[in-house]
Structure 1
Amino acid sequence: MSKIVPLKWLNGELLILDQRKLPGQEKWIVAKKAEHVAKAIESLAVRGAPLIGIAAAYAVALAAQSRNATHASMSDAIERLRVTRPTGYNLFWALKRMAERIESMKSISAQTILREARLIHREDADACIRMGEFGAALIAKPESVLTYCNTGALATGGIGTALGVIRTGYNKKVVREVFACETRPVGQGARLTVWECANDHIPVTLVCDNMVAALMSAGKVQRVFVGADRIARNGDASNKIGTCGVAMLAHQFNIPFHVVAPSSTFDSKLKSGNEIIIEERNPAEIVNATPGLAKVKGVKVWNPAFDVTPNKFITSIITEKGVHLPPYRFPG
């Protein structure tokens, strides 16, 4: 189990570990209102699809604590949270569940709403454990694995999705070491995954995103585990920008490529990944990473936060219900 805890409910407030400051500084944001959580989600202070859903559920609980809380005000709070980030499905799944719970009430009960948020949190933690067991069971002998972005305790309510599999595999001595891609432009792999692995004493090697082909061709990686932000019925999966390229390289080098995600990531309304809305973020995330670039005039920047990996490049999709093999037909 990881000792890292990114969210804490304490005395009617939500404490959020500010992931923008990691690994250099462990700073906590005190969220007293739903709006505080919404801004934390938008700014990437809290990130990772499952954790965003959990944070949003707690944000609804914060809104319910208002003396003037009504069904209308709760609906407004939920709508505000819905527009924070468009791609990850766990956010919408959690808010739908909270909305249904509220609709079943004659009057707003803050205690009941908080109980539902805590249940969502606990269910995700349990799902992480099961995904870890299912994923680790796929590895017969010690292997070196590659992961992308951050899918651990900082992205979920438990040990993680893909990184949860890696944690479990390391404890079972079937994961020898981890190669973590830096994950530009925000560096979730370099800043967060490496930090998590170091905290858990898991051997980790940081590589630049453009080193993956060289890494695979040299035979240094035997398997890839990644997370997902939204999965369509046919198994197409959106994840952090750059994931699709890693999947294509794994396919070229005959390396198994696994997507690890809880059921709350699956969007049954979408036939394929072509229907997934891809968030585009502030160009400053790229420009500010290169000293002096902001002074160069006339440079255009394209900054999609996610891409979609076609199902043909995915060896299996691991959920808390088991290991799903192609052809993918979800729900199932």
Structure 2
Amino acid sequence: MTKEVATLVWIGDTDGSLRILDQTRLPREVVFRECHDERAVWEAIKTLQVRGAPAIGIAAAYGVCLGMKFAPNDERAFFQRLDEVTSYLASSRPTAVNLFWALDRMRRRAEALRGQPPDTIRKALLEEARAIHEEDRALCHAIGRWGERLIEDGSGVLTHCNAGGLATAEYGTALAVIYEASAKGKRIHVYADETRPLLQGARLTAWELKAHGIPVTLICDDMAAEVMKEGKIQAVIVGADRIAANGDTANKIGTYGLAILARYHRIPFYVAAPSSTFDLRLSHGGLIPIEQRDPREVTCPFGIPIAPEGVDVYNPAFDVTPAELINAIICEKGVIQPVNRETIAAVLNGAAENPTGPQRMLESSASS
């Protein structure tokens, strides 16, 4: 996001606080909330005040720092408190794997310092949280640099939900590709799905793109097929909340349908996500836990009743797009194409450090 409107800011030292941009208030007003303990961070994640897999991970890391501010100095009690804080934060949302990745990283940093004074461990935890934050900034820009090569000048690009600076430390994942393509002088027009039921595309993506001067047209979710048929879309780019070892990808509900539409209309479908979003412990997407959210998000969005009282509601927050519908996954280490277990492992293990490897993948993807 722009420097003027940062999604997450740590204020102070180990006794400090976390300032978050309350995304539930956008685009009507820009409101910040200050979190002083892990309970406030849990609530912010649960209620989508902070959202997007990378941003959730960053917020959780800082949440650990907040939860450990007043932990007992006795070593056993200190680490018991650490377990309580990380377990509590892990219960906020089940699908975005970056949450668990960040919490595990914070635990490992503390465990490596067993025997050190608690204040030393607290400082190390804050250093780790800040490192997670800064690393996300760098890898979002790297995703943009890899991905912009897949986007032709003059393209119409469809995106779903919000995978921009609001969902990350800065710049975004899917939107990083668009920002980088625009910075290279390519003329890009974005079509943003409104993204029911919480309208992240309408409220957040459209707001963010307009702030960056990127041409954007907002459409209802059920208009995507028609817009594709009319030839307005040359690529679809989305983010991800968890990617299985075979490339099956969980993202905001509605993504799976877009992938099917894109395949029918012969439009490339791309996923942009950092390597921390891959969950290689899961062999396929059927094992990804899917969050079920409050029915009132569907029946009474933003406090406005739109359905009969007492009607049954099914409200999964995410769906899983099979790997065979994804033309390429763009991460900070390169472009994964074709999307399968072998190519994912090769790129994540460093194949992209060899310029000949990813370049071949980019050329193949661009011609698909």
After TM superposition, the structure 1 = structure 2 runs for residues 231-246 of structure 1, keeping only pairs within 5 Å, are 231-246=243-258
Q: Report the counterpart of residue 25 of structure 1 in structure 2.
A: 29
> Identical aligned pairs, as a percentage?
48
Say which one has the larger Rg: 2
- In structure 1, C-alpha distance between the alignment counterparts of 2:206 and 2:310, rounded to whole Å: 35
Do the aligned partners of 2:25 and 2:31 also contact (CA within 8 Å) in 1? yes
Q: Report the counterpart of residue 41 of structure 1 in structure 2.
A: 45
- Output one character per residue of 1:79-127: Cα deviation in whole Å (capped at 9) or x when no partner: 0011100001000000010010111122432211100000001111100
Q: 1:163 to 1:5 in 2, by over 3 A?
A: same
Deviation at 1:259, TM superposition (A): 0.2
Q: Report the counterpart of residue 89 of structure 2 in structure 1.
A: 81
Matched residue SS, 1:255: coil
Q: Report the counterpart of residue 179 of structure 1 in structure 2.
A: 191
Deviation at 1:170, TM superposition (A): 1.3
After TM superposition, the structure 1 = structure 2 runs for residues 250-261 of structure 1, keeping only pairs within 5 Å, are 250-261=262-273
Which runs of 5 or more structure 1 residues have no equivalent in the other structure?
none
Deviation at 1:66, TM superposition (A): 1.3
Q: Report the counterpart of residue 9 of structure 1 in structure 2.
A: 10
* 1:52 maps to which of 39, 44, 56: 56
Matched residue SS, 1:317: strand
Q: Report the counterpart of residue 167 of structure 1 in structure 2.
A: 179
Q: Report the counterpart of residue 225 of structure 2 in structure 1.
A: 213
Q: Report the counterpart of residue 349 of structure 2 in structure 1.
A: none
Matched residue SS, 1:39: helix
1:194 maps to amino acid: A
Matched residue SS, 2:166: coil
- Output one character per residue of 1:171-205: Cα deviation in whole Å (capped at 9) or x when no partner: 11224211100000000000000010111111110
- In structure 2, C-alpha distance between the alignment counterparts of 1:60 and 1:99, rounded to whole Å: 9
Do the aligned partners of 1:279 and 1:304 also contact (CA within 8 Å) in 2? yes
The worse-fitting range, judged by mean Cα deviation, of 164-173 and 38-47 is: 164-173
Matched residue SS, 1:137: helix
- In structure 1, C-alpha distance between the alignment counterparts of 2:268 and 2:197, rounded to whole Å: 26
After TM superposition, the structure 1 = structure 2 runs for residues 153-164 of structure 1, keeping only pairs within 5 Å, are 153-164=165-176
Give the superposed CA RMSD.
Answer: 1.4
Q: 1:285 to 1:292 in 2, by over 3 A?
A: closer
Whether 1:90 and 2:76 are equivalent positions in the alignment is: no
- Output one character per residue of 1:30-85: Cα deviation in whole Å (capped at 9) or x when no partner: 10001110110001000000000000000111122215361111110000011100
- Output one character per residue of 1:274-316: Cα deviation in whole Å (capped at 9) or x when no partner: 100100000000111394446x244100000000000111000
Q: 1:311 to 1:250 in 2, by over 3 A?
A: same
- In structure 2, C-alpha distance between the alignment counterparts of 1:67 and 1:313, rounded to whole Å: 48
- In structure 2, C-alpha distance between the alignment counterparts of 1:30 and 1:298, rounded to whole Å: 36
Matched residue SS, 1:95: helix
Q: 1:291 to 1:39 in 2, by over 3 A?
A: closer
Which runs of 5 or more structure 2 residues have no equivalent in the other structure?
347-368
Once superposed, which parts of structure 1, at least 4 consecutive aligned residues long, lie more than 6 Å away?
A: none
- Output one character per residue of 1:237-261: Cα deviation in whole Å (capped at 9) or x when no partner: 0000000001110000000100000
Matched positions, count? 331
The normalised TM-score by structure 1 is 0.97
Pick the structure with more helix per residue: 2
